[in-house]
Amino acid sequence: MVVSEFKPAEELPLRLHDKDQPVPGEKEILLKIKYCGVCHTDLHTVEGELPTVKLPRIPGHQVVGNVENLGEGAHNFKRGDRVGVAWLYKTCGACRFCRTGRENLCLQAQFTGYQVDGGYAEYMVVSEDFAYKLPENFPEEQAAPLLCAGIIGYRALKLSQVKPGEKLGLYGFGASAHVTIQVARYWDCQVYVFSRSQAHRKHAQELGAIWTGKPDELPPAKLDRAIVFAPIGEVARLALRAVDRGGTVALAGIYMSPITEIDYERELYFEKSLKSVANATRQDGIEFLKIASEIPVRTDIQIYPLDEANQALIDVKHSRVNGAAVLKIG
C-alpha cells in the first residue's frame, strides 16, 4: 500500500501497487511480512504533517515477519526466524550522539516507513543489526504493536523518571498507552488515565487504572509524572497543571499541534519539567521486549487486511480502535 500524494485519510491516500521484491544487500535480511501495526505516525505521514517524507512511500514501522533470505555477510538470523522491525531503521554509528548511546538523535538516522519503505507490504529489507528477535510467548499479530507503541511508551516511561509506587498520568489511551499502563502497573505505579473517549476510559479501567477522566479534568490527587500521547498541544499544558512540584511531563508523540501559552507560575514553576520523546534506541527495544515477555504484556488488537489500510488509518484517526490496529499481510 503506497502513498503517492499527501491527503486526509478519509480521501484514501494509500493505493495497492505491485512492486519488485527487494533484494537484501550486505548484512541485510529479506523479510516476508506477516503483520504490521498501524501507528498514529503513519497517519501523520500520509496526511503530510511530517517533514522530509519523499513520495512515493510505503508506510509502516511495526513489522513482524520471517526471514526469507540473507544478504552477503548476514549471520545474526537464519531463514525462517521470526523477527521484528521498528521505527529506527538505520543510524550512522559515528556521530556524537551514536558514540554516546543516543542513537535516537543521530543526525543521519533513517526511519522505517518514513525515509525508507516500510511494512505495509509483503516484503521488505532491513539491516540485521536493526532487526529484533521477538519473544516466543507472543503470537505474531500480538507482537506487532510492541515494536513502536510498546518501545516508545517504554522510553517515555524512562524519560518521565517514574519510580515504582508513584502516581502516573497517561493522557490519551490508544495503542501505546494500553501497553504502557501494563508496564507501569508491573512497576506498582498508580495510573490515572485521561481520554475523551468513554470506550478508551473503560478499557483503561479494565487494565488497572485507578481513576479515569477527560483531559481537562484534574485528578483527585497530584501526579508525580505524566505522559502525553495525544498529539494536541493544549493537553501538554493540562498535564503540567496536574503534576505536583518537581514532576515531569513527557511528550511521547512525533507530532503535536502548537502548545498553548503556559502560565509559568501556575503550570511550570516549582521545578516541573517538560520533555519530548524523540524516537528510541535499539537498547530501549531490547529492554522493553524483555520486560514485555516477563509481564507478559497483552496487546488488544483489531485486525484489517492489507487492502483496508486506509480504513485502519481512519479508525485510528477517529479513536475507533480499542488498543492497536494491525494489518494482516497476504
pLDDT at residue 51, rounded to an integer: 86
> Quick one: pLDDT at residue 136?
87
pLDDT value for 135: 87
Q: How many CA atoms lie within 13 A of 161 on its CB side?
A: 11
Name the percent of the chain lying above pLDDT 70: 100
Close Cβ partners of 109 (under 8 Å, ≥ 6 residues apart)? 88, 89, 90, 91, 92, 103, 279
Distance CA 207, CA 89 (A): 31
Same domain, 100 and 225: no
Rounded CA-CA distance 12/209 in Å is: 36
Residue 95 pLDDT: 97
DSSP letter for 226, please: E
Question: What pLDDT shows up at residue 120?
Answer: 98
In a domain, residue 71? The reply is yes
46 with 117, same domain?
yes
At residue 239, the pLDDT reads 98
Q: Give pLDDT tens digits for 56-109.
A: 999 999 999 999 999 999 999 999 999 999 999 999 999 999 999 999 999 999
Number of neighbouring beta carbons within 10 Å of residue 26: 9
pLDDT at residue 96 in the model: 97
Domain region containing 56: 2-147+300-328
Tell me: pLDDT of 276 over 90. yes
13 and 141 assigned to the same domain: yes
156 shares a domain with 111: no
Distance CA 238, CA 235 (A): 5
Residue 126 lies in a domain: yes
Looking at the structure, tell me whether residues 154 and 101 fall in a common domain. no
Q: What would the pLDDT profile of 133-192 be if each residue is shown by its tens digit?
A: 998 888 999 999 999 999 999 999 999 999 999 999 999 999 999 999 999 999 999 999
Helix (H) or strand (E) holding 309: helix 309-317
Both 129 and 182 in one domain: the answer is no
Yes or no: say if 9 and 314 are a contact pair by the CB < 8 Å rule: yes
pLDDT tens profile 288-322: 999 999 999 999 999 999 999 999 999 999 999 99
Rounded-to-integer distance, Cα 223 and Cα 244, Å: 6
Domain count of the fold of the chain? 2
Cell numbers given for 1:
500500500
- Using DSSP, state whether 77 is helix, strand or coil: coil
* Domain match, 23 and 118 both: yes
| 287 found inside a domain | no
Q: Which residues touch 44 (CB under 8 Å, ≥6 apart)?
A: 50, 231, 254, 255
Question: What digits encode the pLDDT tens for the residues 189-239?
Answer: 999 999 999 999 999 999 999 999 999 999 999 999 999 999 999 999 999
Residue 52 binned pLDDT confidence (cut-offs 50, 70, 90): confident
Q: Report CA torsion sign: 48, 54, 57, 63.
A: negative
CATH of the domain at 217: 3.40.50.720
Strand partners, 126: 29
Tell me if 282 is assigned to some domain. Answer: no
Mean pLDDT of 48-55: 91
Residue 290 lies in a domain: no
Grid cell locating 316: 485510528
Same-domain status, 194 and 262: yes
Q: In the structure grid, which three cell numbers stand for residue 324, read together?
A: 492497536
Quick check: is 93 in a domain? yes
